[in-house]
Structure 1
Amino acid sequence: MINSKKIEQIARQVHDAIPKGLRNIGDNLENKILRILQAQFHRMNLVNREEFDLQTKILLRNREKLASIEKRLAILEDHLTKVKTTSNNKQAE
């Protein structure tokens, strides 16, 4: 999830942007804004930067492994084709 300090900072900025007269209407306006923002961010199913970076590293590592496996498979397929061709040529003789 998103960092709670960031949510608090956004809530505080929204709270500070509201004219002072309106701020006096409710002492807990910042808390209400904070709860609304947390609920909205939760619905958005966001992840924090650390989790995103970790998943990016895992994805890159898996792509490298896949490329290596694809390369090895191509070599094995090529070798198998050559073996079959050699075997077929010997049988034809």
Structure 2
Amino acid sequence: MIHQKLIDSLSGQFSQLLAGRPDLPGQQELQSQVRSMLQGTFAKLDLVTRDEFEAQQAVLMRTRDKLEQLEQRLAALEPSVENPAPAATDNDTQL
């Protein structure tokens, strides 16, 4: 899970920072509190994995391609709707 990897990485960096200062009291408690704070913060964020992002990106690209195709079809059909061919009437056929 993306949240856990990031939390573990940040927690590890914080642990390395504190490892240089063994004389600080309550390091374990501080590390625990920082880890809990990070987990709470990332739980509030709306993060997605790279795979989920790429899947949605592919869907978007297919949708965009389909939209472009439909726009081209519409552009081709518009002139025939705006200038319809005159319909033959009974009077025209009798002349």
TM-score, normalization: structure 2? 0.71
Aligned partner of 1:20 in structure 2 is 22
CA contact (8 A) 1:12 1:30 kept: no
Aligned partner of 2:56 in structure 1 is 55
In the aligned structure 2, how far is the partner of 1:34 from the partner of 1:57? 35
Moved over 4 A (4+): none
Gaps of 5+ in 1: none
CA contact (8 A) 2:3 2:43 kept: no
Q: Displacement, 1:62?
A: 0.8
Aligned Cα root-mean-square deviation (Å): 2.4
Aligned partner of 2:86 in structure 1 is 87
CA contact (8 A) 1:11 1:33 kept: yes
* 1:51-76 Cα deviation digits (max 9, x unpaired): 11111111111111111111111112
- The structure whose Rg is larger is 2
Q: Identity over aligned residues, as a percent?
A: 31
Q: Counterpart of 1:20 in structure 2: which amino acid?
A: P
Gaps of 5+ in 2: none
Aligned pair count reads 88
In the aligned structure 2, how far is the partner of 1:35 from the partner of 1:52? 27
In the aligned structure 2, how far is the partner of 1:61 from the partner of 1:17? 47
CA contact (8 A) 1:15 1:29 kept: no
